[in-house]
Amino acid sequence: MKSTLLFMTILLGATGSFSQTQWSKISESPVLSMDPASGMWGAYGQPTVIQHNDTLKMWYGVAEGADPYDHVPKGRIHFAWSLDGLSWQKYGTSPVLDVGEPGAWDGQWLDTPEILWDGTEFKLYYYGDSTYQQGQGNTAIGLATSPDGIHWERQGKVMQKGGSGEWDARYIESPAAYFDKNSGVYALWYMGMDEVGWVKMGLAISADGYAWMKNPSNPVMSVGTYPSWNDIAVAVPAVIQTDSVFEMWYSGVSYDHGQYDTARIGYAVSLNGIDWIQYPENPVLAPTPEDHSSYWSVDVIWDEKAKEYKMYYEDFWQYGNPQNPNKVNAIFVATAPRDVLFSDQCQVSASRDTIISGSGSVQLWATGGTDYQWYPADGLSDPHISNPMAHPEVTTMYKVLIVSESCITLDSVIITVQPSGLNEEKSIDRNSVKVYPNPFSNAGTFEMEHWSVEPCFLTILDFFGNEMMRMELKDKKTEISGKDLLKGMYFFHLVKNGNKVNSGKFIVY
């Protein structure tokens, strides 16, 4: 959740394999919870954790009243820190981000915080509402920023729920944030509920972390078919990137297995953050019937000091009289070593590196899996099968995820494209096309340094690869209006004589 949305060797083994199956719950006691002796009731949950410098830092939601006699709880965001990820020190007793002013859109409830450090500031994305009942008119995802993670300045709503009939029409919440420092792209995966009650997951991207563009093909993950472990909800995602692979942990809810009282944890992988393969052996962490547990709202980090993954999650905590215990939500931790997540036992293989002519094609192949995902998808007949046909315009490294019931493997193959003849169009140096200003708001100019009278076409794509605009360039300089595009990052291609001769990116704000 923390750090490019866009992502052969011949292997007898694997370059990197994942097997998210063996999580160990550290203790039956929570790492953070209310203090029964205080007389103050408080439900703890929705943890978000990062490793910042030498310290693990956690922001979490607490549903609590103003005093022991306040029976109308409010959701607030608190902070704690730890050196080992197991023993946590609360930062005082007051929240670091309280509810908004009376009448404000987030004046009653804050929840599902998600922290992101982008090298400049802490960004805290959160669910806000003017009432403690989800799905009211003011439901939205908000943003607060801070230089230290403790003192916060509200930036207001940054993402709204969908309109009537859309997959996220009732409410949106539980963002999982990611920042790619190379491209400057921000991403948010989030859950949304429709008007029927199905909970699915979507994706939005941003050039600055403030203005967001929803993926037009949302949702990126839907519920399973009935009866399955996630046939009601796939919810509250946690996302990190490992060796070019996006890993997601999330809660699944089943109609036949206790519904929201017995949520379980699933795992999925993706090369582009949009197309996800759910692990065939899900769920990877599930309560036993005697636990009376519900694993909800996970966050996962790689703890470099301990050399293990740590999963923080919300669950029920029973305290007091064992014969008649009280029950309240609290925060727990489970761990898994990397040797569980990376295995060299996968029996897989993939194509050899290949050289083709500029107009040629080649069939890629991979074996050993039940599901496959190739990236990039450009020039492939189908990126989700084991043996797609590839027709790349330029030399390309294709990565492939090979998913089986026992492990998940990352492999790759390089297809080298050689010119097919002396008259083939030569590539123009990327610096020969200028976009200025970049970023721009009202209008941007595309200037070609090597202008010719031959027909040349400009194609503009949004971040998700959807064609937004196509035009013929009839002069050395061409101006486009920023008013025709939503705020965000875009890519462009220049095509001459049927060949892509240049590409680049620009930002509209």
Q: Are 94 and 155 in contact, with CB atoms under 8 Å apart? A: no
Assign domain 349-418 to its CATH architecture: Sandwich (2.60)
Q: CATH 2.60.40.10 residue ranges in the chain?
A: 349-418
pLDDT in the model for residue 133:
61
Q: What is the pTM of this model?
A: 0.82
Beta bridge partners of 186: 179, 206
- The angle at the Cα of 204, spanning 201 to 206, to the nearest 5 degrees, equals 160
CATH number of 431-508: 2.60.40.3080
**How many Cα atoms sit within 13 Å of 43 on the Cβ side?**
16
Q: CATH 2.115.10.20 residue ranges in the chain?
A: 32-297
Mean pLDDT of 209-232: 95
pLDDT tens for 341-358 read 456 667 788 888 888 877
Q: CATH 2.60.40.3080 residue ranges in the chain?
A: 431-508
Beta bridge partners of 125: 114, 143
In CATH, which of 2.115.10.20, 2.10.260.10, 3.20.20.210, 1.20.200.10 is domain 32-297? 2.115.10.20
The closest of 259, 171, 182, 167 to 220, measured between CA atoms, is 167
The closest of 3, 26, 110, 25 to 60, measured between CA atoms, is 110
Range from 91-100, 143-152, 395-404, 464-473 that averages highest in pLDDT: 143-152
d(CA 408, CA 402) in angstroms, rounded, equals 6
> Strand 366-367 relative to strand 349-350: parallel, antiparallel, unpaired?
antiparallel
Three-state secondary structure call for residue 96 = coil
Q: For all residues of the chain together, what is the average pLDDT?
A: 84
Higher local confidence (pLDDT), 420 or 351? 351
- The angle at the Cα of 205, spanning 505 to 158, to the nearest 5 degrees, equals 125
In the structure encoding, which two tokens stand for residue 19, read together? 């097997």
pLDDT tens for 280-338 read 889 988 876 655 567 888 999 988 778 888 999 988 888 888 887 888 889 999 998 76
